[in-house]
Amino acid sequence: MQGWKIVEVMAGTLKLDGGAMFGVVPKSIWNTLMECDEQNRCTWAMRCLLLEQGQRRILVDTGMGDKQSARFFSHYEPGGNTILPALESLGILADSITDVLFTHLHFDHCGGAVLKQAGTIDDFILAFPNARHWVSKEHWNHAINPNSREKASFLKENILPLERAGVLNWVEDGFPYEGIRLETVFGHTAAQILPVIVDQQGQEWMYMADLIPSVHHIRLPFVMGYDIRPLETMREKERILNECLESGRNLIFEHDLSTSAAKLGFDGLHYFMAEPLTL
């Protein structure tokens, strides 16, 4: 089996409340791991992946984009490149992306896939016009009929243009690429997708999205306050970390600013980062 070339694409940074990101873990503990500003916000990465094999280019998540209002962005203070200039810096044109795979449709994971149409008030265009866009149908139905807790994370301008453009494909119908397996988890949001990718050397890597957003969240009790089913998140983490340990699978962190990936360890009681890795 021919593996995939895995390329890190940094689609900028954003600031999120440290308490929300670490849930019930007290600030006296998490603040020893991450610095925060005077508003209690820590800086997080939006690390997307580009998977290349022959003429196939699959983009996994797209960051938050840049089309929301100044008031919206004032809450998050995004920095760095958005997804299109980030790809261009790697010599990749938007028209060459063949597939976009969304782990889920919270704004910081899908916003870069839709652009504001210049000179109009409410019309939007696709950032990747030649791509098939993949998402879980179960998650899609959840996103367009959100619960009140998640409603602010599902922005209609990020989601509905994909439907109008007719580019949506459901992963439940079969994601057709050998060397990429999709795992579905439910603790953070309904039917979040975590891809497991076999690289060109035959090594497996798992993109952890918001199940384990940073190296610090490897610890089982470190569960985000954003999660809709935190106890289920803990069970999912334990199951998947055990699978990764047994298989030798490496982890890729979407939101960790300083650590892009890691080899996993276990001391008999706790999972931990045995070695930081680069992509």
| pLDDT tens per residue, range 56-86 | 999 999 999 999 999 999 999 999 999 999 9
Q: How confident is the prediction along the chain (279 residues), in pLDDT tens digits per residue?
A: 789 999 999 999 999 999 999 999 999 999 999 999 999 999 999 999 999 999 999 999 999 999 999 999 999 999 999 999 999 999 999 999 999 999 999 999 999 999 997 655 568 999 999 999 999 999 999 999 999 999 999 999 999 999 999 999 999 999 999 999 999 999 999 999 999 999 999 999 999 999 999 999 999 999 999 999 999 999 999 999 999 999 999 999 999 999 999 999 999 999 999 999 999
Compute φ and ψ for 225, nearest 5 degrees.
Answer: -65, -15
Sign of CA dihedral 86, 197, 212, 34: negative
At residue 74, the pLDDT reads: 96
At residue 119, the pLDDT reads: 59
CATH number for 5-277 (one of 3.60.15.10, 3.30.470.10, 3.10.28.10, 3.20.20.140): it is 3.60.15.10
The DSSP call for residue 68 is S
The DSSP call for residue 253 is -
Exposed (0-12), middle (13-18) or buried (19+): which is 153, by Cβ within 10 Å? middle
In contact, 12 and 82? CB cutoff 8 Å: yes
| Partners of 44 in beta bridges | 14
CA–CA gap between residue 27 and residue 97 (Å, rounded): 41
Helix (H) or strand (E) holding 162: helix 156-165
At residue 120, the pLDDT reads: 54
Tens of pLDDT, residues 203-235: 999 999 999 999 999 999 999 999 999 999 999
Q: What pTM was estimated for this model as a whole?
A: 0.97
In contact, 194 and 210? CB cutoff 8 Å: no
Map tokens 């760095």 to a residue.
80
CA–CA gap between residue 1 and residue 204 (Å, rounded): 13
User: Which residues contact residue 272 at a Cβ distance below 8 angstroms, ignoring those fewer than 6 apart?
Assistant: 218, 219, 264, 265, 266
Decide the pairing of beta strands 56-60 and 41-53. Answer: antiparallel
